[in-house]
Amino acid sequence: MQEALTIGQLSARSGVAQSALRYYERLGLIRAERTSGNQRRYHRSELRRVAFIRIAQQVGISLEEIRTALDSLPAARTPTAEDWAELSTAWRARLDEKIRLMSRLRDDLDACIGCGCLSLRRCTLYNPEDNLGGEGPGARLVLPG
């Protein structure tokens, strides 16, 4: 394998712990070939996949969603800029919605922190006696919509 990286080299270059890289490999997020001595060797293109995984996780994308996205990339060759652009296009609406939700959360928290909860009648997060619990799990007032 040309330009192969050991797990230690991939870890050092990506800033991701070796245990996490093995976990990503177990989940099918990254791929390694094995030497005759059963040591992992990663193609340099796996660095881009690891960077994508880290960034996607930081914005709250699940590993399952990440795997689905990465599965859309070609397995038999190094993904091209066009391949990554297609993945980006497929995620654009999802990311735009996350940005909108995070902006709304930020704005609601700014108002909440500023009010000091002196008037619970105006609070956009107040849920007395868990009245919204019947609508399902999670934060019901800070959902997309």
pLDDT digits (tens, 9 = 90+) for 18-75: 999 999 999 999 999 999 999 999 999 899 999 999 999 998 889 999 999 999 888 7
Centre a 10 Å sphere on the Cβ of residue 106 and count the other Cβ atoms it contains.
10
Decide if pLDDT at 140 tops 80: no
pLDDT for position 101 = 85
Residue 145 makes CB contacts below 8 A (sequence gap 6+) with none
Nearby residues of 43 by Cβ (< 8 Å), 6 or more positions away: 1, 3, 4, 5, 31, 33, 78
Tens of pLDDT, residues 66-107: 999 999 888 777 888 899 899 889 889 888 988 888 888 777
pTM of full prediction above 0.75: no
Confidence check: pLDDT of 119 > 60:
no
Check residue 104 and give its pLDDT.
Answer: 81
pLDDT of residue 13: 95
Smallest Cα–Cα separation from 14: which of 37, 46, 47, 41? 47
- Which tops the pLDDT comparison, 123 or 46? 46
pLDDT at 118 > cutoff 60: no
The residue type of 11 is: S
Q: Is the pLDDT of residue 132 over 70?
A: no
CB 98 within 8 A of CB 60: yes
